[in-house]
């Protein structure tokens, strides 16, 4: 396995071999600041490994140069770079953008700021030898679509008795914390920062949004530990954020209240923010889960979420910090008999009336779907409902509901669908979800829950690294083709290690992974109905597991039919939260896309889908097919055994996961099929055995 020597963990998409092309050239680096130093060090390391040379000035002995990294602020000293700069034409590059060009045999990377040079460096790594060939190439600008590209860690300082070390984490313990304090493995954190920077991520939040007692103290007594992490992330252009406990003034400050309109409370937060910025001048801000699943919040004091968020925003504003206020607020103590309370409606009902009431440094962080990161959900209607609020879309890289990193489930295609969704329909030019999140005035960026832990492969399942990679790349360029991103990941992670034809490996991995989200969907909950997982840990099938619980996640299957009536005509009225045309499309059982039918409608088992199949036959067919596809994935992987195309230990780890996936897929198939056979009394038209 390709290991990073300093940390003894898998090198993921940055094996030393991926730097072969860069490291075998003569490279001039003219950048300053922490990220400029990083670029120099990265190039120097690559050159030391592959025989190239790195220099800081045009005349020094490392030259003449084939590649130059330079800032636009001063006249670049190398004539080829100066000529590209003089040529202009691409406009301002901003804090993080860069341009590439080729002039008289020299590859030129220019940026307005050091972070841009860093992103330019990883662009050159991705290109490999292609960065150096050919004749002159005109300047090509690269700028991130989203200003904030952020990973949230749900890491606890210690092992929580119920939620473990990393809540919904499937890759071992936290890479930041252990035994109630810092883990102390800063080389590992640095290796993580480096991987993230190579995908374009520029913000990380280092503790769980469910902020328990010890974690609350990160804001005060443990601030030094947070500052140590910030120091490690900074050279890779990543700003640190903290999840804070809304009740901190009570818990830490000894105040009798955390009322956001109380003067003492506001003063307490002001001082807390000032102390944070003293320790971490480039601190990003706070992440807040309030009035949600037992977390404290402004409702306790009869205040609105705008009151709560704005109070924190005021504390952070003098320092340029932001509040990421989560919109995941719903009633988790409902009764399944109560058909008027609909969890899907909750975020919109709470937040849409507050549009325009949030301060400019508040970002409302909205889960991409209205429920909770299910395998298939419609896009959250909140995203189109708050034009006067800065919105960030939240994805889940950690696979809580998508196989928990025991199943192969490449999520790039799902996220790509979300980002490309047009809330006002196909004719609405440019107004995709991505465009809304990227809007310079109203966009809050893209956020995701990380899937990383202290596992030697980072992500438990080695192939789950692709999800982390794709997230960062989609946040930078949301309209990238997810299949191409998958290949990009394969080409960095596996191909540089091969001394032989990479095509068979690329083909095998691509075939296993590209459609794996659809495969997973086929053998789990059908037609967008969601959940059906075992309560608590959320792994494996339990069709009625949540059906009679207070969590608001029901499928309402009975002998006649299945699905949730969310129509305006006869149901919860949720379809009315969408603008046209989707409001009408979702309202109609005939026009609603098949894959979301049961999210929006309660229909008889004999209802005919747009595909021509009935609901019940669709359930049988997809569950047989999905389990078979999982077995097919395992066979493809088995064929790679002993081929020398993948490292033996990595092969073994993936195989062990695939064995579990195949077992679990069959369990899903049999439970779901048997449940609906018995409920509906309708036999499989193809006569297959249903145990």
Catalytic residues: 293, 372, 400
Residue of 167, 225, 454, 629 that binds ligand GCV (CB under 6 A): 167
Report how far residue 621's alpha carbon sits from residue 617's, in angstroms, rounded to the nearest whole number: 6
Q: Which residues pair with 448 in a beta bridge?
A: 151, 395
Q: Which residues pair with 446 in a beta bridge?
A: 149, 393
Per the rule left: phi > 0, alpha: psi between -120 and 50, beta: everything else, 96 is alpha
Residue 164 or 462: the one with the smaller Cβ distance to ligand GCV is: 164
Q: Which residues pair with 405 in a beta bridge?
A: none
Residue 404 or 432: the one with the smaller Cβ distance to ligand GCV is: 404
Residue 533 or 672: the one with the smaller Cβ distance to ligand GCV is: 533
Give the nearest distance from C-beta 479 to ligand GCV in angstroms: 26
Give the nearest distance from C-beta 169 to ligand GCV in angstroms: 10
| Residue recorded with tokens 């889908």 | 609
Per the rule left: phi > 0, alpha: psi between -120 and 50, beta: everything else, 374 is beta
- Any contact of residue 402 with ligand GCV (CB under 6 A)? no
**Dihedral sign for Cα atoms in the order 599, 672, 667, 595:** negative
Residue of 269, 328, 554, 582 that binds ligand GCV (CB under 6 A): 328
Burial of 655 per CB tally in 10 Å (0-12, 13-18, 19+):
middle
- Any contact of residue 215 with ligand GCV (CB under 6 A)? no
**Dihedral sign for Cα atoms in the order 552, 349, 345, 170:** negative
Q: Give, as ranges, the residues between 284 and 313 that touch ligand GCV (CB under 6 A).
A: 289
- Any contact of residue 174 with ligand GCV (CB under 6 A)? no
Q: Give, as ranges, the residues between 340 and 399 that touch ligand GCV (CB under 6 A).
A: 372
Report how far residue 382's alpha carbon sits from residue 386's, in angstroms, rounded to the nearest whole number: 7
Give the nearest distance from C-beta 551 to ligand GCV in angstroms: 8
Residue 154 or 170: the one with the smaller Cβ distance to ligand GCV is: 154
Which secondary structure element, helix H or strand E, spans residue 141, and what is its range?
strand 137-142
Size of the site for ligand GCV (CB under 6 A): 9
Residue of 174, 210, 575, 680 that binds ligand GCV (CB under 6 A): 210
Give the nearest distance from C-beta 532 to ligand GCV in angstroms: 15
Sorted by sequence, the CB contacts under 8 Å of residue 457 that are 6+ apart come out as 9, 10, 12, 171, 465, 650, 653
DSSP state of 284: -
Sorted by sequence, the CB contacts under 8 Å of residue 667 that are 6+ apart come out as 540, 541
Residue 169 or 237: the one with the smaller Cβ distance to ligand GCV is: 169
Give the nearest distance from C-beta 51 to ligand GCV in angstroms: 48
Residue 256 or 536: the one with the smaller Cβ distance to ligand GCV is: 536
Q: Give, as ranges, the residues between 228 and 287 that touch ligand GCV (CB under 6 A).
A: none
Residue 372 or 454: the one with the smaller Cβ distance to ligand GCV is: 372
Residue 329 or 468: the one with the smaller Cβ distance to ligand GCV is: 329
Q: Give, as ranges, the residues between 132 and 161 that touch ligand GCV (CB under 6 A).
A: 154
Give the nearest distance from C-beta 485 to ligand GCV in angstroms: 25
| Tokens at 179, concatenated | 């035994």
Strand 26-30 relative to strand 53-55: parallel, antiparallel, unpaired? Answer: parallel
Listed residue (462, 403, 651, 506) closest to 9, CA to CA: 462
| Tokens at 422, concatenated | 């047009």
Give the nearest distance from C-beta 180 to ligand GCV in angstroms: 19
Residues 67-106: x where in contact with ligand GCV by CB under 6 A, - otherwise, as a string = ----------------------------------------
Residue 35 or 450: the one with the smaller Cβ distance to ligand GCV is: 450
Listed residue (344, 253, 394, 417) closest to 574, CA to CA: 344
Helix, strand or coil, per DSSP, at residue 280: coil
| Tokens at 335, concatenated | 């009764």
Please name the residue ranges forming H helices in 465-592.
Answer: 465-476, 482-493, 503-513, 516-523, 582-587
**Cβ atoms < 10 Å from Cβ of 209:** 25
CA count, 13 A, side-chain hemisphere, 276: 30
Residue of 12, 39, 201, 209 that binds ligand GCV (CB under 6 A): 209
- Any contact of residue 168 with ligand GCV (CB under 6 A)? yes
Listed residue (132, 187, 134) closest to 20, CA to CA: 132
Give the nearest distance from C-beta 89 to ligand GCV in angstroms: 44
Residue 398 or 493: the one with the smaller Cβ distance to ligand GCV is: 398
Give the nearest distance from C-beta 11 to ligand GCV in angstroms: 30
Give the nearest distance from C-beta 167 to ligand GCV in angstroms: 5
Report how far residue 282's alpha carbon sits from residue 230's, in angstroms, rounded to the nearest whole number: 9
Residues 554-573: x where in contact with ligand GCV by CB under 6 A, - otherwise, as a string = --------------------
Helix, strand or coil, per DSSP, at residue 140: strand
Which residues bind to ligand GCV, rule: CB under 6 A? 154, 167-168, 209-210, 289, 328, 372, 400
């Amino acid at each position: 396995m390709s290991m990073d020597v300093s940390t003894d963990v898998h090198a993921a998409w940055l094996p030393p071999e991926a730097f072969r092309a860069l490291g075998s050239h003569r490279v001039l680096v003219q950048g300053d600041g922490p990220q400029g130093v990083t670029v120099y060090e990265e190039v120097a390391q690559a050159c030391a490994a592959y025989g190239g040379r790195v220099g800081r000035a045009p005349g020094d002995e490392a030259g003449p140069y084939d590649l130059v990294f330079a800032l636009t602020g001063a006249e670049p000293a190398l004539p080829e770079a100066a000529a590209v700069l003089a040529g202009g034409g691409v406009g301002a590059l901003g804090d993080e953008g860069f341009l590439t060009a080729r002039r008289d045999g020299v590859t030129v990377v220019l940026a307005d700021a050091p972070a841009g040079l860093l992103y330019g460096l990883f662009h050159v790594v991705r290109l490999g030898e292609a960065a150096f060939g050919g004749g002159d190439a005109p300047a090509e600008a690269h700028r991130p679509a989203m200003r904030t590209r952020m990973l949230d860690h749900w890491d606890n300082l210690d092992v929580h008795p119920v939620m473990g070390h990393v809540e919904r984490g499937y890759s071992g313990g936290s890479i930041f914390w252990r035994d109630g304090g810092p883990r102390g493995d800063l080389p590992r954190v640095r290796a993580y920062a480096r991987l993230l920077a190579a995908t374009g991520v520029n913000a990380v939040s280092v503790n769980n949004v469910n902020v328990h007692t010890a974690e609350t103290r990160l804001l005060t007594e443990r601030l030094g530990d947070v500052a140590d992490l910030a120091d490690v992330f900074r050279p890779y252009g990543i700003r640190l954020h903290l999840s804070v406990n809304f009740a901190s003034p009570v818990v830490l400050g000894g105040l009798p209240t955390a009322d956001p309109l109380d003067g003492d409370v506001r003063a307490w937060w002001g001082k807390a923010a000032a102390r944070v910025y003293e320790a971490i001048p480039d601190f990003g801000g706070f992440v807040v889960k309030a009035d949600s699943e037992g977390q404290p919040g402004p409702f306790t004091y009869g205040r609105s979420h705008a009151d709560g968020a704005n109070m924190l925003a005021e504390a952070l504003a003098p320092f340029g910090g932001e509040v990421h206020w989560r919109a995941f607020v719903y009633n988790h103590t409902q009764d399944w008999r109560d058909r008027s309370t609909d969890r899907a409606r909750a975020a919109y009902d709470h937040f849409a009336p507050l549009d325009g009431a949030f301060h400019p440094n508040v970002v409302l962080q909205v889960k991409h779907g209205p429920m909770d990161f299910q395998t298939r959900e419609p896009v959250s209607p909140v995203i189109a409902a708050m034009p006067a609020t800065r919105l960030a879309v939240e994805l889940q890289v950690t696979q809580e509901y998508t196989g928990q990193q025991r199943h192969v489930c490449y999520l790039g295609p799902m996220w790509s669908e979300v980002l490309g969704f047009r809330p006002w329909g196909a004719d609405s030019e440019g107004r995709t979800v991505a465009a809304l999140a990227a809007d310079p005035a109203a966009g809050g960026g893209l956020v995701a829950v990380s899937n990383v832990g202290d596992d030697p492969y980072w992500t438990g399942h080695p192939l789950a690294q692709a999800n982390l990679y794709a997230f960062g790349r989609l946040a930078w360029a949301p309209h990238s083709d997810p299949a191409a991103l998958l290949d990009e990941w394969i080409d960095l992670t596996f191909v540089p290690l091969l001394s032989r034809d990479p095509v068979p490996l690329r083909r095998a991995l691509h075939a296993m992974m590209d459609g794996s989200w659809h495969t997973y969907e086929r053998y789990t909950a059908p037609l967008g109905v969601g959940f059906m997982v075992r309560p608590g840990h959320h792994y494996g099938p339990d069709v009625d597991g949540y059906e009679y619980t207070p969590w608001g996640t029901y499928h309402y299957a009975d002998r006649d039919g299945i699905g949730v009536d969310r129509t305006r005509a006869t149901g919860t009225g949720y379809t009315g939260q969408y603008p046209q045309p989707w409001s009408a499309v979702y309202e109609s059982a005939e026009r609603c896309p098949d894959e979301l039918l049961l999210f929006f409608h309660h229909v008889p088992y004999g209802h005919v889908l747009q595909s021509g199949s009935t609901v019940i036959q669709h359930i049988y067919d997809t569950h047989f097919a999905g389990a078979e596809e999982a077995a097919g994935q395992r066979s493809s992987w088995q064929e790679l055994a002993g081929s020398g195309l993948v490292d033996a230990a990595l092969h073994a780890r993936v195989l062990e996961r695939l064995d579990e996936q195949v077992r679990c897929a069959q369990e899903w198939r049999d439970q779901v099929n048997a449940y609906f056979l018995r409920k509906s009394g309708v036999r499989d038209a193809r006569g297959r055995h249903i145990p």
